[in-house]
Structure 1
Amino acid sequence: MAQQNNEEGTALIHMQKPEWRGSMISASFNFINSIIGSGIIGLPYALAQAGLPLGLLLLVLVGFITDYSIVLLIKGGHLSGSNSYQSLVQSTFGFPGFFILSALQFLYPFIAMISYNITTGDTLTKVFQRIPGVGPDHILAERHFVILLSTVMFTLPLSLFRNIERLGKVSFLSMVLTLTILIIVMIRAATLGPQIIPTENAWAFAKKNAIQAVGVMSFAFICHHNSFLIYNSLEQPTLSKWSRVTHISVGSSLIISAAFAVAGYTTFTGYTQGDIFENYCRDDNLATFGRFCFGFSIITTFPLECFVTREVVSKVICSRPLSKAEHVAITLLIVAVCTALSLAFDCLGVVLELNGALSATPLIFIIPSACYLKLHPGRWFQSEKLIPTVLIIIGLFVMITTLIMTGLFPQDCSHGVEMFYCADANISGTMPPE
């Protein structure tokens, strides 16, 4: 089964009906939704890791690689006669390839759900503290309690749905909320940014954690699981049509992502956290509204990722539809493990780096290129095989280096603590000084 959603929160449910055929415009819109999701929230942190100029160059590079590998994926499908990512890998590398892809497609949404819980805990605690009578010592300001509360009241009940179509309206809502958050971050960049003194080397061309930043960017841009679904939704799908849809979608997403990343990073420079909303002060009303939008988006996205994870488990272990009891048991197990891990780890930046390295990088850089190299006729040193070969090498380098550096040099997090600059009355308020 193709994964239905990414770390950005998109569901393309209405396109699952095979008789549905749409225009290139509607396909492009759905593809942009597929890319622009919750992963965008960590892009300012990626610039803090890499440095602003190099970070932007890397973001453009990841966007280019995403564009190229998506087209490559469909080309591989044409060569093998496959109509899904899973069938392409299975027809190319047999059951071992199918098993590896299934593991990666399990790992990506599973780690994403952990990051969603972490974000919910960090984000909604500050929203609740804007309620009169709720202070830093109140139970609603305790991230562990908020994570458990949102799990019991919202994410678990929604995750128990057997029919994912019942969650299909999340796609449009998620896009609206993401654009709202972008506007808020850009406004605060203009009103709050000038009041915060930039950190040392804030405008340096490059920083030592640039490779880790690529992992975060890969997590934000991954959308390959929806590629075949969107391609098959086109009226009379062709490679030329698909290339135009991909270029428009990835290009538009890159512009939005770059604007968000630059606005967030230039506001806080070296203080930028893995969750950009951790940087805003508790009594910043505009940021609080942004936190609410993002927290709501995350809560409604979690069940979609749980659906994907559960389906991967059912396909690999059961090889048949789950009974009602099995459905409930597996859902409870997945949600419980995710919740336990999110209670134990509260640094979103590290989680984004790990998910980018362990799952997003192989799914974007390595697997599409490997499938194309094996399926394409001719010798290995042909020019058409040069770029896929380079992408595999880059993917392996980014994957291994990110894992090593994340393990050896984990990044510090604020862990929900109010940032030091919020003590300034002018900064902590919603209005800039005159």
Structure 2
Amino acid sequence: MAQELNSEEGATLVPPKKASREPISSMTSASFNFINSIIGSGIIGLPYALNQAGLSLGLLLLVVVGFITDYSIILLIKGGNLTGTSSYQSLVQSTFGFPGFLILSVLQFLYPFIAMISYNITIGDTLTKVFQRIPGVGPDHILAERHFVILLSTLLFTLPLSLYRNIEKLGKVSFLSMVLTFIILVIVIIRAATLGPQIPPTENAWVFAKWNAIQAVGVMSFAFICHHNSFLIYGSLERPTLANWSRITHVSVGSALVISAAFAVAGYTTFTGYTQGDVFQNYCRNDNLATFGRFCFGLSIITTFPLECFVAREVLSKVFCSRDLSNLEHVAITFLIVAVGAAISLAYDCLGVVLELNGVLCATPLIFILPSACFLRLSPGRWFHTENLIPAILILIGLFVMITGLTMTSLYPQDCSHGVEMFYCAEPNVTASVPPA
């Protein structure tokens, strides 16, 4: 079997002497790209995940999700080597045929599409508070209206950027998002030290566990999913061996886990039981440093939105068209995806529930179930053999998280602030603790 992969999405394994490859990447460069693909907008919901699960259990679950992500990514590449495939779609189709390809396509469409909805909700809630720091813009101003801000950002930014046909034109986005994420992390840590002591913790702030832990796993899965980029990064390596890939995966997921845990702890310990799905909803309007953080996060969301639209559009085109889309088809499908996502985000504004649903419905099967199922299908041994036991357990865990998480999210939806100023912002001691940035 050939040992090298073409780095183009959807290509098959080719002998190294018979086909040229895309520009190669060093292990350091590949690790950086992988960390970028993991740490994205989903990090903003991790303090909320700790609020759902409890601080101690939440951190434990975050580590577990990190380890499972690491393990399942390596399983994907093992499955690709066994089948001679070099993409998630081709691996599942080779293993389970067209029904498997169809199921994966549905999940791979729903995940970025629901993510786009969550981005719109975040833009509406975040930028309205940024605009209210402009002199003359009050709570009754049109720029403080989330529906108007969502429509404005869609028409001026996210829709035009989403119309690009070539994802390479958005290549600088990952670096920009990484820089913005680091700035946001620093701001959250600073406010944990300066603002946190002024907000009394809720009654059950430091309990080991809470009943909504399964829903928290969904949010964490949403934050950690990066499997759609795995084959691309693996194929770009100078020496794409399983040993090199394992080292890159361990370093990348481990680094992302440390950053995510720091952000989650800093955000949760500041607001404890008051923590919202978008942690920036917890900061007061007169907090200039937090306003700068909101601006950075809003910019990051706007620049990341087109990448999710690109994935959703590509999935639809592969399922319904056997050829490249014409310019008219490209524009029509892009407009339809963006318009439907915007319409849903205008009608619903609870970010925490959206993150939970995307996590349990889409991210969990993409991380827990499908990579393990492919490996078990391809492995010659029985399920209870040592090599196959962990994938079998992951499938059971994934099914449990999906069913239980969906049930609890439906029966016990969490309260949301919907962009309303938090009550403690009216207290003099809190206001006094927020000096101008």
TM-score range, shorter chain: over 0.9
Contact kept in structure 2, 1:192 and 1:427, CA below 8 Å: yes
* Other-structure match for 2:279: 276
Counterpart of 2:52, as a letter, is Q
Change (3 A) 1:429 1:125: farther
Q: 1:18 to 1:428 in 2, by over 3 A?
A: farther
Q: Per-residue deviation at 1:429? A: 5.2
1:151 is aligned to 2:159? no
1:149-181 Cα shifts (integer Å, max 9, x gaps) = 000111111111112211111010000000000
> Structure 2 CA distance, aligned partners of 1:310 and 1:19?
23
| 1:137-159 Cα shifts (integer Å, max 9, x gaps) | 11100000000000011111111
Cα shift readout 1:43-70 (whole Å, capped 9, x = no counterpart)? 0000000000000000000000000001
1:230 counterpart residue number: 233
| Structure 2 residue corresponding to 1:39, chosen from 34, 42, 46 | 42
Whole-angstrom CA distance in 2 between matches of 1:427 and 1:229: 48
Query: Which residue number in structure 2 is paired with residue 344 of structure 1?
Result: 347
Where does structure 1 lack aligned partners over 5 or more consecutive residues? 4-16
2:160 alignment partner AA: P
Partner residue, 2:106: 103
SS at 2:401 equivalent: helix
Match in the other structure for 1:10: none
Listed as ranges, the matches of 1:295-374 within 5 Å are 295-374=298-377
TM-score (ref. length: structure 2): 0.94
CA spacing shift, 1:77–1:194, aligned 2, 3 Å: same
Which amino acid in 1 is paired with 2:77? I
Given that residues 426 and 432 in structure 1 are in contact (C-alpha distance below 8 angstroms), is that contact kept between their aligned partners in structure 2?
no
- Cα offset, 1:2, TM superposition: 5.3
Instruction: Provide, for residues 325-362 of structure 1, a one-character-per-residue CA deviation record: whole Å limited to 9, x for no partner.
Output: 11111111111100000001100000000000111000
Deviations 1:197-255 (A, max 9, x none): 00011000000000000000000000011111111111111111111000000000000
Residue from 177, 180, 190 that aligns with 2:180: 177
Instruction: Tell me if structure 2 keeps the 8 A contact 1:31–1:249.
Output: yes
8 Å Cα contact 2:95/2:374 also seen in 1:
yes
Instruction: Quote the offset at 1:430 in angstroms.
Output: 6.3
* Contact 1:284-1:429 at 8 Å conserved across structures: no
Q: What is the RMSD of the two structures over their aligned residues, measured on CA atoms? A: 1.3
Contact 2:287/2:435 (8 A) holds in 1: no
Give the distance between the partners of 1:155 and 1:63, measured in 2 at CA: 30
For 1:195, the equivalent position in structure 2 comes to: 198
Check whether the contact 2:158–2:305 (CA below 8 A) recurs between aligned residues: yes
2:118 to 115, 118, 126: 115
Once residues 416 and 228 of structure 1 are traced to their aligned partners in structure 2, the CA distance between those partners, rounded to angstroms, is 39
Which of 60, 64, 68 aligns to 2:67? It is: 64
Contact 2:37–2:229 under 8 Å retained in 1: yes
Q: Give the partner amino acid of 1:350.
A: V
Q: Displacement, 1:23?
A: 1.2
Matched residue type, 1:379: R
Are 2:268 and 1:265 equivalent residues in the alignment?
yes
Q: CA deviation at 1:431?
A: 3.4
| Match in the other structure for 2:256 | 253
Q: Is the 8 A contact 2:198 2:433 kept in 1?
A: no
What is the distance in 1 between the residues matched to 2:432 and 2:227?
A: 42
Match of 2:382 in 1: 379
Task: Return the letter of the residue paired with 2:322.
Answer: S
Alignment-derived partner of residue 127 in structure 1:
130
Pairing 1:54–2:53 present: no
- For the pair 1:240 / 2:221, whether they are aligned, the reply is no
Deviation string 1:79-133 (CA, Å, 9 cap, x unpaired) is 1111111111010000111111111100000000000000000000000000000
Give the equivalent residue in structure 2 for 1:8.
none
Instruction: Give the AA of the match of 1:186.
Output: I
Q: Deviations over 1:18-48 (max 9, x none)?
A: 3211111111111100100000000000000
The answer to whether the Cα contact below 8 Å between 1:22 and 1:233 also exists between their aligned partners in 2 is yes
